[in-house]
Amino acid sequence: MCKKIFVYGTLMEDFYNYNYYLKGKVIKREYARTKGELYHLTKEGYPAMVKGDDYVYGELIVVKDFGKTLKILDQLEGFYKEKNEKNEYNRVVKEIEVLKNNTKHKAYVYEYNAKSKDELKEKEVYIPNGDWRRFMEKEKAKVI
Q: How large is the greatest C-alpha to C-alpha distance in the chain, in angstroms? A: 45
| Superfamily of domain 5-143 in the CATH hierarchy | Gamma-glutamyl cyclotransferase-like (3.10.490.10)
Residue 125: the pLDDT is 95
Residue 144: the pLDDT is 45
Residue 1: the pLDDT is 65
Whole-number Å distance between alpha carbons of 89 and 109:
9
Q: List the one residue out of 54, 55, 133, 128 whose CA is nearest residue 97.
A: 55
Q: List the one residue out of 6, 77, 46, 54 whose CA is nearest residue 139.
A: 46
Residue 139: the pLDDT is 82
Question: Are 81 and 74 a contacting pair, CB within 8 Å?
Answer: no
Query: Is the pTM here over 0.85, yes or no?
Result: yes
Residue 6: the pLDDT is 99
Digitized pLDDT (tens) for each residue of the chain, 144 residues in all: 689 999 999 999 999 999 999 999 999 999 999 999 999 999 999 999 999 999 999 999 999 999 999 999 999 999 999 989 999 999 999 999 999 999 999 999 999 999 877 888 889 999 999 999 999 998 877 654
Question: Are 74 and 90 a contacting pair, CB within 8 Å?
Answer: no
Residue 143: the pLDDT is 52
